[in-house]
Structure 1
Amino acid sequence: MIGRVFNGRYRITERIGIGGMAEVYKAQDQTLGRIVAVKVMLPQYAADPEFAARFKQEAASAANLQSPYIVNVYDWGHDDGTYFIVMEYVRGTDLKSAILQRGAINQRKVAEIGSQVCQALSVAHNQDIIHRDVKPQNIMVQPDGNVKVMDFGIARAKNSVKSQTSSVLGTAHYISPEQAQGKELTGASDMYSLGCVLYEAATGQLPFDGPDAVSVAMKQVQEEPLPPSQVKPDISPDLEAIILKAMDKNPYNRFQTARDMKQALDDFLMGRPVNIAGAAGGFASAPTSVMGSVPGMASEAGGTAVMQPIGSDAGMKTNSYRGGNDIDMGKAKSKKRGPLIAVAAIAAIAVIAALAFAITGGLGGGDKVPNVIGQTQEAAVQTIEKAGYTVGTVTEDYDAETVAGRVCKQDPEADSDLEKGGKINIVISKGVKKGSIPNLSGMTSEQAEKALKDAGLKAQYAGNEASDADKDTV
């Protein structure tokens, strides 16, 4: 492929990478004299009309999306049996590679990335285009720290007349529950996938994993993720709340628009109170059943999968394996239902045992007071009552360490022994006392930190912004 010229214009110079359905090359645009990226469909898919149509759809979808956070598409074509898309060449690395190299990313950087991706998705959603494959592999981090979203290969306009198929396209580790079940998607589905991305970026760990794509997709439908703070204890309660809201199983309880999620992330970045009030909705997940594992399938976070919707069928099996990343899963044969019923029965017994364990207090340990520090008053009340306690006195006090409107103290303290029904008193922060914040304008970071320390406050870096002030001053 190196040295080949597409449509007499784009000369391939080197391969950048390979995905589930295509390879990406660096190329020279001999007409305009610029470096571009050329995405070339893999030969095994070029003869498939549906894949060819999807490839063309990607070009058409992305070409109409104008945003500094979306990779530009310049051209599309067909040359000697090969379909290709010409795109903006983005210097940098994809977010997945960054996570694999560094582990958990700085929380503020995670929020900044999330805010920029929300901005990109907002542009797409405003044109009724759902991305459907938001994942860290599709988020390029440039040298200046800004991101670009790419790969609208399985995006679909909500009013698209393209015929639906019985297959579900997506990446199991980031797919929304309704997408795994083959249901109609909205922008909230992309919000769920972005929540999974931010979870992984903030903790260095996938929210759900398993031995194969089916088991991971089942977890997306059935299981709640482990709270990020239990993976990385120093994560901010606000950022955790944003991530978990985005990953709510009920799409009506998530952020309803990318703009809403961006606002919450921006509030977090600016140190403002984060509003994550849930929206009411009557969505109920379709019933699911126990599924057998897919034999011979290795788990690979990031592979775009082609699978049957997860519904009421007893199980699934692998029908074909395409290129290592694309999976086509059909119904399991009826002769496998016996073992699956046994598995279901065992699972039911395990659930009953777990409930009995919870009701009787486990191994005899005392009842522990929940930790509500950092939560809003509303969330704290819900946490306390859900744990079987009642809310005692609610008072307010100034606290420079806690954002206004959040719980800064509780009595008894978290993890204390307290009988069910007991009262827990909480103190809500009024923030920093007015008049105690020094004027930092014009100071260097060192001077500002000292001034804040002398005032009994803590400095928190809030990023850079162009202004008329001298460089490197507040």
Structure 2
Amino acid sequence: MDTTLQDPLVGRLLDGRYRVDARIAVGGMATVYRALDTRLDRELALKVMHPDLATDAAFVERFMREAKSVARLAHPNVVGVFDQGADGAYVYLAMEYVPGCTLRDVLRERGALRPRAALDVLEPVLAALGAAHRAGFVHRDMKPENVLIGDDGRVKVADFGLVRAVGSVTDTSGAVLGTVSYLAPEQIEHGTADTRADVYACGVVLYEMLTGGKPHSGDTPAQVLYQHLNTDVPAPSAAVPGLAVELDELVAAATARNPDLRPYDAVELLARTREARAALGDEQLDAEPPQARAQAVPDGAGDEDPTSVIPRVRPLPVEHTSLLPAPAATAAEPAPAPRRGPRRPRGPLLVVAAVLLALGIGSGVWYINSGQFTRVPAVLGQTEAQATQRLADAGLEVGATERAFSDVYERGTVMAVDPAPGERIRGNGTVTLTLSRGPRIVKVPNLKGTPLAEARKALAEEGLATGVITYEFSRSVAQGAVIGSDPEPGTERNPDSAVALVVSKGAPIEVPSVTGESVEDATATLQEAGLKVVVAPERIHSPEEAGSVAAQSLAEGSRAAKGDTITLTVSKGPKMVEVPDVVGMKTDEARAELEDAGFEVKVEKTFPYLGDTVAGQSVEGGSTAAEGSTVSITIKGL
């Protein structure tokens, strides 16, 4: 039975414009329909939020943020968003319709993919995420269900419903939105998700494509979350013997539990993916995994993974267990048999025993209360390297590193420690450091007149990144110094935002003409103007004398910057060409003959100018003349 018939939206005209034709898929927060835009007469996908969530302002805001985020990307591997709106209780997005299937459908049908096919899917996915990351967004819910494969083979990333700006990726609600099988450890434990969380999810997706199964499994979501936190993703070759080590290394890099050890964003992971592909031969790329059977669907490969709200994992309290043995159960002991022989004095032995017992009990109590613990040293305000070394000297390790904004601590220094300084922690325990990202809002500095290298450094010190660099001529700003920036100085931005710079090429130099001059004279003229000179090794025929300059790479009057290079080509002299005999020909025929041979033609007529036959030519037919030179023909009168 077609369940779409029971859907109240199917057949309805939404917002007076979108005719809902069929239901495509149902997710945790929205339903996707195939629809027709009756105004533009085009097929599209309509993503409609579940009505019970439409009353939640946070969900609606997140839903609308998807449209704005994707609209800014405009990438060929991202499902485009055309429109957004609401019709009563129905909040919707009008999106690009991609006829085809999802990567989940492919894995359900085929089990596992050949390495070449897996990389063919992964690379456009990373290209799409790379564009999002460089635009300042994190997807946060990468999984096979959100990878669309069109009937024409195009790969597109969908469902940016959980997208967040890089500067606002910490969730303080105590819950994490996402899909259990693809959550990065830091999302689970701390609620943080930057570009490296998407990298982790892509590593899990690659593992699943290569092996046909998920790296972590369990009877409950909690078991899967525990494995993300405590178990590395296994090498794909453990499930697919003979798989190239480069693919193992690619998965290991992307799914490192410590986010600092992963590629920083999808652009970097894409570069590593292409390097791995280049290192593989056709036999390795086209090796068919044993899991790739049409009938056999590996465990977990066909399971739909819904996006859900997941409680954040909190550190569990350590249970202290006494190290002293429990007292043995007492029982009535038989009276000792009477001793024979002389008794030895027991006083000194009892004293020694009492002392030893007191020392033993005191040592045990000390060990339980203090001896097995170390106090966390004070490392606030220190750099990460300094803090790590001081903790190591105390016998402690850095278990994780987080980042947060701070108006007090300088960027890159320790602003918080867990456990806090002075608190006790078991010997060889781990400590979490929180490093400052600097103020939440920073101002773009005034860099005009600053050399480019110093400008880069100044931006980094303010917590900003250097964006696109363009060059312009300037008579007032020295060559190599900054003319201006975008955004302008004083503009407030989030840390790590990119600032584009315009750099001076110096005052423009008008290139003089040196064609026809000797190489020595031409070189001197250009060097005096501030240009560098290179002489081409090959020589060419030209009307200029042999040994003189035949051509220059920058034309006369063009503008160049000081230090630019101009290439000079030296003449071999004119090329000598045989002159055709055109006497007796008609004027047009003679002109065409001479021009085809490479000559300029000048026509001279004698009075009364009524004839059209060539009576003579300035250069005798059969002789040679310089190519490009002028040959005059004389037309006789009547």
Match of 2:274 among 255, 266, 272: 266
**Contact residue 13 and residue 27 of structure 1 kept, 8 A:** yes
- Per the TM alignment, residue 163 of structure 1 is displaced from its structure 2 partner at its CA by 7.8
- Per the TM alignment, residue 131 of structure 1 is displaced from its structure 2 partner at its CA by 0.4
**Contact residue 250 and residue 272 of structure 2 kept, 8 A:** yes
* Helix, strand or coil at the partner of 1:144: coil
Q: Does 1:312 align with 2:320?
A: no
- Per the TM alignment, residue 159 of structure 1 is displaced from its structure 2 partner at its CA by 2.8
* Helix, strand or coil at the partner of 1:31: coil
* Helix, strand or coil at the partner of 1:44: coil
Matches of 1:146 and 1:236, distance apart in 2: 26
Aligned residue in 1 for 2:24: 16
Aligned residue in 2 for 1:375: none
Aligned residue in 2 for 1:174: 182
Aligned residue in 2 for 1:96: 104
Match of 1:238 among 241, 246, 250: 246
Aligned residue in 1 for 2:202: 194
Output one character per residue of 1:65-120: Cα deviation in whole Å (capped at 9) or x when no partner. 11111000011111011100110000111101110111001111111211111110
* Helix, strand or coil at the partner of 1:261: helix
* Helix, strand or coil at the partner of 2:182: coil
* Helix, strand or coil at the partner of 2:126: helix
Output one character per residue of 1:414-456: Cα deviation in whole Å (capped at 9) or x when no partner. xxxxxxxxxxxxxxxxxxxxxxxxxxxxxxxxxxxxxxxxxxx
Aligned residue in 1 for 2:348: none
Matches of 1:144 and 1:199, distance apart in 2: 25
Matches of 1:218 and 1:239, distance apart in 2: 25
* Helix, strand or coil at the partner of 2:314: coil
* Helix, strand or coil at the partner of 1:159: helix
- Per the TM alignment, residue 300 of structure 1 is displaced from its structure 2 partner at its CA by 5.7
CA RMSD of aligned residues (A): 2.3
* Helix, strand or coil at the partner of 2:73: coil
- Per the TM alignment, residue 52 of structure 1 is displaced from its structure 2 partner at its CA by 1.4
Where structure 2 has 5 or more consecutive residues not aligned to the other structure, the ranges are 1-8, 282-301, 322-638
Question: Amino acid of the residue matched to residue 139 of structure 1?
Answer: V
Match of 1:62 among 35, 59, 70: 70
* Helix, strand or coil at the partner of 1:64: helix
Question: Amino acid of the residue matched to residue 264 of structure 2?
Answer: Q
Match of 1:147 among 145, 148, 155: 155
Aligned residue in 1 for 2:86: 78
Matches of 1:163 and 1:203, distance apart in 2: 33
* Helix, strand or coil at the partner of 1:311: coil
- Shift in CA distance, 161/217, structure 1 to aligned 2, threshold 3 Å: closer
**Contact residue 181 and residue 216 of structure 2 kept, 8 A:** yes
Output one character per residue of 1:116-169: Cα deviation in whole Å (capped at 9) or x when no partner. 111101110111100000000000012233310010111111234998422111
- Per the TM alignment, residue 272 of structure 1 is displaced from its structure 2 partner at its CA by 6.7
Q: Does 1:127 align with 2:135?
A: yes
- Shift in CA distance, 49/163, structure 1 to aligned 2, threshold 3 Å: farther
- Shift in CA distance, 115/6, structure 1 to aligned 2, threshold 3 Å: same
- Structure with more contact order per residue of length (Cα contacts < 8 Å, sep ≥ 6): 1
Matches of 2:55 and 2:23, distance apart in 1: 22
Matches of 1:301 and 1:96, distance apart in 2: 8
Q: Does 1:113 align with 2:116?
A: no
Aligned residue in 2 for 1:219: 227
- Per the TM alignment, residue 267 of structure 1 is displaced from its structure 2 partner at its CA by 2.2
Aligned residue in 2 for 1:302: 305
Where structure 1 has 5 or more consecutive residues not aligned to the other structure, the ranges are 274-298, 315-336, 342-474
Aligned residue in 1 for 2:236: 228
* Helix, strand or coil at the partner of 1:173: helix
- Shift in CA distance, 163/176, structure 1 to aligned 2, threshold 3 Å: closer
Matches of 1:117 and 1:163, distance apart in 2: 25
**Contact residue 168 and residue 182 of structure 1 kept, 8 A:** no
- Shift in CA distance, 272/263, structure 1 to aligned 2, threshold 3 Å: farther
- Per the TM alignment, residue 301 of structure 1 is displaced from its structure 2 partner at its CA by 5.0
**Contact residue 104 and residue 304 of structure 2 kept, 8 A:** no
**Contact residue 263 and residue 269 of structure 2 kept, 8 A:** yes
**Contact residue 112 and residue 269 of structure 1 kept, 8 A:** no
Question: Amino acid of the residue matched to residue 90 of structure 2?
Answer: T
Matches of 1:300 and 1:40, distance apart in 2: 23
Aligned residue in 1 for 2:262: 254
Matches of 1:101 and 1:19, distance apart in 2: 21
**Aligned pairs, number:** 293
Structure number with larger C-alpha Rg: 2
**Contact residue 112 and residue 265 of structure 1 kept, 8 A:** no
Matches of 1:211 and 1:217, distance apart in 2: 11
Output one character per residue of 1:33-87: Cα deviation in whole Å (capped at 9) or x when no partner. 1100000111221222221111111122212111111000011111011100110
Question: Amino acid of the residue matched to residue 9 of structure 1?
Answer: R
Output one character per residue of 1:355-391: Cα deviation in whole Å (capped at 9) or x when no partner. xxxxxxxxxxxxxxxxxxxxxxxxxxxxxxxxxxxxx
* Helix, strand or coil at the partner of 1:133: coil
**Contact residue 10 and residue 29 of structure 1 kept, 8 A:** yes
Question: Amino acid of the residue matched to residue 207 of structure 2?
Answer: Y
Question: Amino acid of the residue matched to residue 308 of structure 1?
Answer: P
**Contact residue 113 and residue 146 of structure 1 kept, 8 A:** no
- Shift in CA distance, 52/313, structure 1 to aligned 2, threshold 3 Å: farther
Question: Amino acid of the residue matched to residue 311 of structure 1?
Answer: R
- Shift in CA distance, 51/143, structure 1 to aligned 2, threshold 3 Å: same
Structure 1 length normalisation: TM-score? Answer: 0.59
Matches of 2:257 and 2:119, distance apart in 1: 21
**Contact residue 213 and residue 305 of structure 1 kept, 8 A:** no
The percent of aligned pairs where both chains have the same amino acid is: 35
Structure 2 length normalisation: TM-score? Answer: 0.44
- Shift in CA distance, 123/21, structure 1 to aligned 2, threshold 3 Å: same
Q: Which structure 2 residues correspond to residues 254-403 of structure 1 after superposition, within 5 A?
A: 254-271=262-279, 302-313=305-316
* Helix, strand or coil at the partner of 1:83: strand
Matches of 1:164 and 1:78, distance apart in 2: 29
